[in-house]
Structure 1
Amino acid sequence: MTSANPVAIVTGASKGIGKATCISLAKLGFNVVGFARSELELKAVGKECETANPSTQFAYYSGDVSNNSDCDSTVELATKKFGRIDALVNNAAILDPAGDLTKISKADLARHFDVNLFSVLYLTQVALPELIKLKGKVINISSGSATTFLNTWGAYCCSKASLNMMTTGFATEVPEVTFLALRPGAVDTDMQVQIRASGHLMRPEDLKMFVSFKENGILIHPNIPASVIANLCLKLDHNLSGKFFSWDSPELAAYRD
């Protein structure tokens, strides 16, 4: 049976921006399929989604986005339970390995790209047949690091820059679907905690910058970009397909509450 509600898959759904996006989507009337590693946290997200909007449903798959079989199972769950996929939010990502590109091993960089880029490629490919049917939306969560290099986080910068180009590539090849790469801003999440805790690896001036984000209240709550992401899933203008914007870009004013 096909759901009357639109349906979105969200990766990295157990915490931070992913969790907040699931809840924002539920508020807009989406049934949500959360994909993350922690089953316990996913169950908690589901309760929050259904509290936010009792007329929606939350399903989840506990697995690893870099595992093709887990990606297959997540898409299968969405199609079997809800009969449709209207949107895909590729949010899951890792920060490690930290360190200079001159010293990062090939194996560590490959693992990083497997999570941050190759998983997006594969999951998008698997979901595309359903997305094409409904002229769906794909929102890839990028970063300002895609365009500004940060010492110590070179691997992350490279994977996010590649994600932006992949977004453009998919938009070119699949005109039936609307794709967008989104910078969510400096968000108060576990990733920012990890960055501050890695200060011994960073240049003093870079560490000072990240610490100041927290101390000066510059970090924004995950609910802020999550609301934009949910609105993009609902009504993203196809004319923006393939682009990279920040959550607070003038071009996205219509998607901010």
Structure 2
Amino acid sequence: MSTSIKHFGASSDFLSKHRAQNPSSRTILVTGATAGIGLAIAKYLLRSEAKHLLVLAGRNNDVLIDLQTKNPDRVVTTAGDMSDLDYVKSIISGLQLAGKLDGMILNHGTLGSCQRIGGVEAEDWEKTFRINVTSLVVLIQSSLPLLRSAQGKVVFTSSGAAVTAYTSWGAYGATKAAVNHLAMTLKNEEPEVTSLSIRPGVVDTAMQDDIRNKYLGNMDEKDQQKFISAKKDGKLLPAEKPGHVIAELAVRAAKELSGQFLSWDDPKLADYQAK
């Protein structure tokens, strides 16, 4: 793994100059940035007149290269697997951020093997927790000094599965419940940092394709029908709808939202939703 330090722009002093010239610009890390909600978030933030600076992490290096090529000064990328905690630790340590990070959008995650509790392998269960929970803790630990300095925002992409049980989704739902608790704990332990978790709804992403095409056989019929009909009846949300709310929260979430688990379309978030 390379030990070289990455920086924005062509030189190491670009970041301080950019911040001075663009006081509304925020430096934000987005994980799971190469598809679905994460990609929608990245594109939205890059279109902003505030000229935000983005650290983008994801598995698809081709997408990362494309985003960086189109935004050479404002994007730094890091490709890797969030189950590899050494890689996760390197994300922040490998960057020159000049003392602060304004926001983190922790959007990556996996459904796991979608096995019922009676048949799931312990290794599969543990790996789902490593990707969906432990990697978040590792990232937060390495970022806290930078987040405190900026009075930054941490936004977690959670799920309705945190509070509703679906057959064969035990590991996934448990991890998302843990994510919500992590946001609550951060609110108490890190008062300078605003932390909240967002339920994005049923979104038209590759995860929904996997549910319909790979995992339906392990689910009860009533749960199967929910996801089949959501696609058939055109009820899946475009990634941009929850993505844009999450992006706005990473930029300017109000302190009173800290610790809460909210749906993307909750009335409390009206100020962050597209008008």
What interval of TM-score do these two structures reach, taking the shorter chain for normalisation? over 0.9
Identify which of 85, 103, 120 aligns with 1:104. 120
In structure 2, the partner of 1:255 is 272
Q: Secondary structure at the match of 1:208?
A: helix
Distance 1:83 1:219 in 2: 40
Alignment of 1:204-243 (within 5 A): 204-243=221-260
Between the aligned residues of both structures, percent identity stands at 33
Q: Does 1:8 align with 2:28?
A: yes
Question: Can you list the C-alpha shifts for 1:61-96, whole angstroms capped at 9, x where unaligned?
Answer: 011223333223221344x16653110011110001
CA 173–10 in structure 1, closer or farther in 2 if over 3 Å, else same: same
1:164-206, Cα deviation, whole Å (9 max, x unpaired): 0111011110001000000011110000000011222221221
Residue 244 (structure 1) aligns with: 261
| Residues 1:96 and 1:72: Cα distance change in structure 2 (over 3 Å) | closer
For 1:153 and 1:68, locate their aligned partners in 2 and report how far apart those are by CA, in whole Å: 24
Structure 2 contact 58–78 (Cα < 8 Å) conserved: yes
Q: Could you tell me which of 27, 44, 50 is aligned with 2:47?
A: 27
Contact 1:140 1:181 in 2 (8 A): yes
Structure 2-normalised TM-score?
Answer: 0.87
* Residue ranges of structure 1 left out of the alignment (5+ in a row): none
- The aligned counterpart of 2:206 is 190
Letter in 1 for 2:244: S
Q: Distance in 2 between matches of 1:47 and 1:231?
A: 24
Gaps of 5+ in 2: 1-12, 20-24
Q: Using the alignment, how far apart are the partners of 1:251 and 1:195 within structure 2?
A: 30
Give the equivalent residue in structure 1 for 2:64.
42
- Secondary structure, in 3 states, of the residue corresponding to 2:234? coil
Distance in 2 (CA, whole Å) between partners of 1:213 and 1:75 is 38
User: Does residue 173 of structure 2 align to residue 153 of structure 1?
Assistant: no
Code of the residue aligned with 1:9 in structure 2: it is L
> TM-score normalized by structure 1?
0.93
Letter in 2 for 1:26: L
Deviation at 1:45, TM superposition (A): 3.3
Amino acid aligned to 2:159: S
CA distance in 1, matches of 2:121, 2:38: 29
Count of residues paired in the alignment: 251
Give the Cα–Cα distance (whole angstroms) in 2 for the partners of residues 188 and 82 of structure 1.
Answer: 37
CA distance in 1, matches of 2:27, 2:221: 45
Runs of 4 or more consecutive aligned structure 1 residues displaced over 4 Å after TM superposition: none
**8 Å contact kept, 2:89–2:138:** no
Q: Distance in 2 between matches of 1:133 and 1:65?
A: 26
Decide whether the 8 Å contact of 1:7 with 1:82 is kept in 2: no
**Cα distance in 1 between the residues matched to 2:163 and 2:86:** 32
- Alpha-carbon separation, structure 2, partners of 1:218 and 1:47: 34
Distance of 2:164 and 2:61 partners within structure 1: 35
Distance 2:97 2:188 in 1: 31
